[in-house]
Amino acid sequence: MNKVNIAFCDDLAIITVDNPPVNALSQSVRAGLVDAIEKADGRRDVNAIVLVCAGRTFFAGSDIREFSKPPQAPYLPMVIERIEENEKPIVAAIHGTALGGGFEIALGCHYRVALSDAQVGFPEVTLGLLPGATGTQRLPRLIGVEHALDIMISGKPMDAVTAEAEGVIDQLIEDENLLDGAITFAHKVVAKSLGPRRVRDLTVEPIAFGFFDNYRKKIKRKTRGLISPEKIIRCVEASIGMPFDEAAAQERIFFNECKASSQSKALRHIFFAERVVAKVPGVSVEASQREVNRVAVIGAGTMGAGIAYSCLAAGLEVAMLDNENSGLERGRDAIAGFYEHDVSRSRIDDSNMVNGLARLETTQDYDAVADVDLVIEAVFENMAIKEEVFRKLDSVCRPGTILATNTSTLDIDRIAAATERREDVIGLHFFSPAHIMRLLEIVRGAKTADDVIATALALAKKLQKVGVVVGNCFGFVGNRMLYGYGRESQFLLLEGAPAEQIDGVLQEWGMAMGPHAVGDLAGLDVGYKVRQERTDLPDDPRFYRVGDLLVEAGRFGQKTGKGIYLYERGSRAPIPDSEVQAMIVREAKLLGVEQREIGAEEIIQRCIYALIIEGARILEEGVSPRSADIDVIWTNGYGFPRHRGGPMHYADEIGVQRVYEIVCEFRDRFGEVYWEVPKLLEELASNGGKFSEL
C-alpha cells in the first residue's frame, strides 16, 4: 500500500500520508515524501502544497524501531531541507500529536495550521535523544531560547492554542475540517503571493549573559544522570553563535552520540516495553471487556483514598465504603486534599474538583455497592479480614461485578475461594501513593476470566497507569524481587557499609531513593507488623534485626522524626545518626558478622543482581511472560532508573555471561541459600542468550 499519496485540486497539490498507527516517519514515508514534493514541484499548474496525514495524528515522530538498525536515506534532515527549500509554499495541516520528527517536518514547512486540540512537541529527551532533524535550531528561532529549552528538556507537548499564540502555528482550524481549512489557508497564501517563508531565515533572540549556566543549574536535579539534556543545551547555544547549517551539523553529531548511548537504548526499550505489556499471552486482545462506570472501594485508608481518587480523576463514579464513619471522613478529607493539591498546581481546575467530589459517595452499607461494576478491596493486609470482605461482597454484588483485591502479597486464589465467583476475582495491586504511582500489578488467579483481565488492562489505561499482568505467588513480581534487594541492603549494613553509603551509591547509580531512605519513608513499623503476622519468614536475624531494634526503640522513620536516619522537624532530608551506626556495629558483633570496608561496585552488584536472579526465577516459573514486563514493573513502581532499562535489560546490557560469573562468585562467598544460581541464568550464559530474547 502506498503510504504517501498525492492529489491535485485547483492550483494545489495535496500530499496525504497514511502510515498507521501514528504516521511514524519510516524510510518508505521519507522517500515517498521526497517523491511527492518533486512531483508537485514539477507541475506548472501547482502554486502551493498542503501536507496532511490520515488517521489519528500528524507524524508522531521518526520510527523509533529504525534507531536500532543502520540508518537509511533519505535521512529526515534531508527531507526537511527539501521541504524548506521548495519554492512553492508548503502548508502543514496538523492534528493529533505532531511530535519529534513530526514537529520538525512541520517546522520545515513554510506555514502551519492545526486543529485547536492538536499538540506539538519534542519528547526525544524521554528516549535519551534530542530533536535530531534541526528541531534544536528552528524552535528557538520561533519561540526564543528559554521556552524552546523548556519544551525540549521537559519533553512535554505544547497545545495548539499556545503554539498559535507563540507564532508556531499560523492559524487554528475550528469551524471546518482540517483539510478544508488548510486548503483555504493555502489559497490565501497564493492569492497574497506570500511565497515560501523559511524558519531558518529567522534569527534567535539574544539571551542574557550567563543564562545557559543558570539554566544548567535549574535542571540539574531533574536530569540527574542523563546525557541528552546537556547536548540539547549545547545545540541551542550553537543556534545563537553559529550559522544554521554549521549548528545543524553539530546537532546531528550530538544526536548520533545520544542514539548510540546505552541510555537511549534503555529508554527506547522501556518505551516499547510499556506497550507490549498490554499484550498478554493467551488472553486475546479482542477479549470483551466489561463496562466499568461505577466502582466501589472498600476501605477508606491511605490506599483506599488514593485508589478512589485515581478512579474519580478518570471520570468514574465511586462508592467508598468503610466500617467506621470516622474512617470515611478521613478518606473523604484525603480525597478533597488530593483535589485541592492538583488545583493549586493548575493540573485541574475547580470545576473538575467539584464534579469529581460530586461523583463520590461514602457509605458503611454493603447494599450500597450491590450494583457497581467493579469493587476494589483495600482493607488491612490480613487474610481472614479479606476473606470476610469477599464473602460479603460475593453475597451482595450483582452477577458480573468484578471483585478485585489490592493486596500486596496475599494469595489471590485463597481470597477468590471465599466467593462463588472465582472467575470474577483479580488482584489490582496499586503502589503507594496510589494516585501518583503509575504501576498497577494485575494479578491473575487460577480461575480469573480473560474478559476480567482485559477489563483490568483497560482500567489501567483509563487511570493513566501501566498495567502489568503477573501470576499469583508471594509478593507477585515487584515485591518478590524487592525481598532480595532489601536483604542485601540489610546484610551490607551489618558487614560494614553505613546506610548513607549504601543509599548514596545506589542513588548515584540511578535509583530514585536508596533502600534505607525508602524504609524510613514507608515506615519501618510496616515491615515489623508483617513480620509479627508472618510465621514463614526465613529465621535469619541478619535480615531484620536492625529494623526490629529501631522499631522497638520507637524509631519508625520519617513519621517519628527518626528511623535509621534522623530528620529535622519539617524536613525529609535524612541525617546519618552515629547512635544507630554504633548499634549496628554492636549487633554485627553479636551476630558474628565481620565488619569490613565495602566498595561501591559490590554494593551495586549485590543489590541489583539480587533483583536479576529473582527476575530469572520469576521467568522460569512463568509468573511473568516476558523480561520486558519485569523491567516495566521496576521502572514504574520501584524507582529503578529508566535510563538503565530495568533489571533484566540491564543484565542483557552487562552481558548475561558476566552476570552469571558474578552470581557464582556471590554464591561461593555468601552461600547457596540466597545466591543459588537460577537454571535460566546458567542456560542463557552458556548459550550466549539474552533475557529479552525469551
Q: Residue 508 catalytic? A: no
> Which segments of 181-248 are extended strands (E)?
none
Binder to ligand T1G among 14, 80, 114, 124 (CB under 6 A)? 124
Q: How far is the first Cα of the chain from the last one, in angstroms, to the nearest whole number?
A: 33
- Count of residues binding ligand T1G (CB under 6 A)? 25
The minimum distance between CB 148 and ligand T1G, in angstroms, equals 14
Which residues on adjacent β-strands are paired with residue 562? 557, 566
Residue 132 near ligand T1G by CB under 6 A: yes
Which CB, 65 or 534, lies closer to ligand T1G?
Answer: 65
Residue 128 near ligand T1G by CB under 6 A: no
Interacting residues with ligand T1G between 91 and 110 (CB under 6 A): 97, 99-101, 104
Which one, of 307, 296, 561, 274, lies nearest residue 433 by Cα?
307
Amino acid in the structure at residue 668: D
Residue 134 near ligand T1G by CB under 6 A: no
The minimum distance between CB 456 and ligand T1G, in angstroms, equals 17
From the list 119-127, 194-202, 352-360, 482-490, the region that binds ligand T1G by CB under 6 A is 119-127
Which one, of 265, 257, 328, 334, lies nearest residue 302 by Cα?
334
- DSSP symbol at 240: H
Residue 467 near ligand T1G by CB under 6 A: no
Q: Residue 653 catalytic? A: no
Amino acid in the structure at residue 678: P
Residue 59 near residue 105 (C-beta atoms within 8 A): yes
The minimum distance between CB 162 and ligand T1G, in angstroms, equals 17
The minimum distance between CB 213 and ligand T1G, in angstroms, equals 26
Residue 678 near ligand T1G by CB under 6 A: no
Cell of 171: 492559524
Residue 363 near residue 320 (C-beta atoms within 8 A): yes
> Which segments of 495-554 are extended strands (E)?
none
From the list 128-136, 473-481, 557-565, 654-662, the region that binds ligand T1G by CB under 6 A is 128-136
What residues contact residue 332 under an 8 Å CB cut-off, 6+ apart?
300, 320, 360, 362
Binder to ligand T1G among 89, 128, 131, 647 (CB under 6 A)? 131
Which CB, 22 or 178, lies closer to ligand T1G?
Answer: 22
Residue 597 near residue 497 (C-beta atoms within 8 A): no
- DSSP symbol at 547: H
Residue 488 near ligand T1G by CB under 6 A: no
Which CB, 271 or 528, lies closer to ligand T1G?
Answer: 271
The minimum distance between CB 449 and ligand T1G, in angstroms, equals 24
Binder to ligand T1G among 6, 12, 13, 24 (CB under 6 A)? 24
From the list 41-49, 61-69, 139-147, 444-452, the region that binds ligand T1G by CB under 6 A is 61-69
Which CB, 259 or 562, lies closer to ligand T1G?
Answer: 259
The minimum distance between CB 163 and ligand T1G, in angstroms, equals 16
The minimum distance between CB 610 and ligand T1G, in angstroms, equals 31
Q: What share of the chain is helix, strand, coil (3-state, %, to 5)?
A: 55, 10, 35
Q: Which run of H or E residues covers position 120?
A: strand 119-121
Which CB, 271 or 509, lies closer to ligand T1G?
Answer: 271
Helix, strand, or coil (residue 398): coil
Binder to ligand T1G among 22, 183, 426, 502 (CB under 6 A)? 22
Name the active-site residue from 104, 164, 251, 602.
Answer: 104
Interacting residues with ligand T1G between 262 and 281 (CB under 6 A): 272, 275
From the list 56-64, 336-344, 532-540, 574-582, the region that binds ligand T1G by CB under 6 A is 56-64
The minimum distance between CB 64 and ligand T1G, in angstroms, equals 4
Which one, of 608, 628, 603, lies nearest residue 481 by Cα?
608
Contacts 24+ apart (CB under 8 A), 68-71: 68/265, 68/268
Binder to ligand T1G among 123, 196, 299, 519 (CB under 6 A)? 123
Binder to ligand T1G among 15, 40, 120, 133 (CB under 6 A)? 133
b/e 544-561 (16+ beta carbons within 10 angstroms → b): bbbbbbbbeeebbbbebb
**CA trace torsion 317, 323, 329, 334 (10° rounding):** -60
Which residues on adjacent β-strands are paired with residue 430? 440
Cell of 437: 504511582
Distance CA 574, CA 567 (A): 6
Which CB, 63 or 653, lies closer to ligand T1G?
Answer: 63
Name the active-site residue from 81, 84, 124, 614.
Answer: 124
Which CB, 114 or 524, lies closer to ligand T1G?
Answer: 114
Distance CA 301, CA 571 (A): 24
Which one, of 165, 435, 442, 190, lies nearest residue 314 by Cα?
435
Q: Which residues are catalytic?
A: 104, 124
- Residues within the interface to ligand T1G (CB under 6 A): 21-22, 24, 60-65, 76, 97, 99-101, 104, 123-124, 127, 129, 131-133, 135, 272, 275
